[in-house]
Amino acid sequence: MSRSERLMHLLHVLRTLPSPATGEQLAREMQVSIRSIYRDIESLRAGGAEIAGERGYGYTLIEDGTLPPQAFDRIEIEALMLGLAEVRHMGDPALAKAAASVIAKVAATLPSRSQQHLLHAVSRVHRLDNRYATLPGHYLNTVREACWEELALDIRYKDQNGKESERRIWPLAIVYLDRMLVVLAWCCTRNDYRKFLVSRLLKADATGESFRPRRSAMLRTYLKSLAIEKAAR
């Protein structure tokens, strides 16, 4: 990790840890020495970040000089917090962690009054259980990465009748339905567009086969065909 990357990471840790964060906590999170933390804190301050605190007491990020101030009105803040809270209740650990990170980053760019609105939002999400808690998260992460990188996947899939098949697919998107996740894909085995339930994936292995830059165009085509199919019902 380069020094600039380490400083950006330290800013992120300062945003996410409960304040004030001690030098020992920061060193543990960053996996560096406390002396390095002290030097990096001073470097961030010199670069425009307003960090309160000192050695032995802990540090609080007051204002992040690397991010421009954000202007949200109160209802926009409510919408933002409600949406991110919903993501955190989905049962997808990677997205839940990302949602918490987004909240911390946004809070760091807001004026103090708006920060209070963010941290004490009126709108709340309460669910007795996670919507997608039973899904195989490691397959979901593999599918997500393959969509981002536009790489083919080799999957083993069990259909609604319990029949298993081996396929190679080009994953295009992950659709979050009410209680299930669906992968929209081009099935190289069937030579056609197909929908696959994530809960029925028995295997999902990344391959080195790239289908870039076709994902966006293929997804538009598939979504259009699904819309026409829905209208015809």
Which helix (DSSP H) or strand (DSSP E) does residue 173 occupy?
A: strand 164-176
Query: Per the structure block, which two tokens stand in for 133?
Result: 């808690």
Q: What is the pLDDT of residues 170-203, one digit of tens each?
A: 999 999 888 788 999 999 999 999 999 998 999 9
Class of domain 3-63 as given by CATH: mainly alpha
Domain range 137-231, its CATH number among 1.10.20, 1.10.10, 2.30.30, 3.90.1070 = 2.30.30
Query: Per the structure block, which two tokens stand in for 161?
Result: 């009748």
Report the pLDDT value the prediction gives residue 137, as an integer from 0 to 100.
55
| 36 within 8 A of 27, measured Cβ to Cβ | yes
Measure the CA–CA gap between 36 and 29, rounded to whole angstroms: 12
* Residue that has been written with the tokens 């991010």 in this structure: 67
Q: What is the pLDDT of residues 121-160, one digit of tens each?
A: 888 887 777 776 555 556 889 999 999 999 999 999 999 9
Nearest to residue 215, comparing CAs of 168, 165, 169, 182?
169
- The burial of 143, by beta-carbon neighbours within 10 Å (0-12 exposed, 13-18 middle, 19 or more buried), is given as buried
Q: What is the pLDDT of residues 23-76, one digit of tens each?
A: 999 999 999 999 999 999 999 888 888 888 888 889 988 866 666 666 688 898
Q: Which residues pair with 171 in a beta bridge?
A: 185
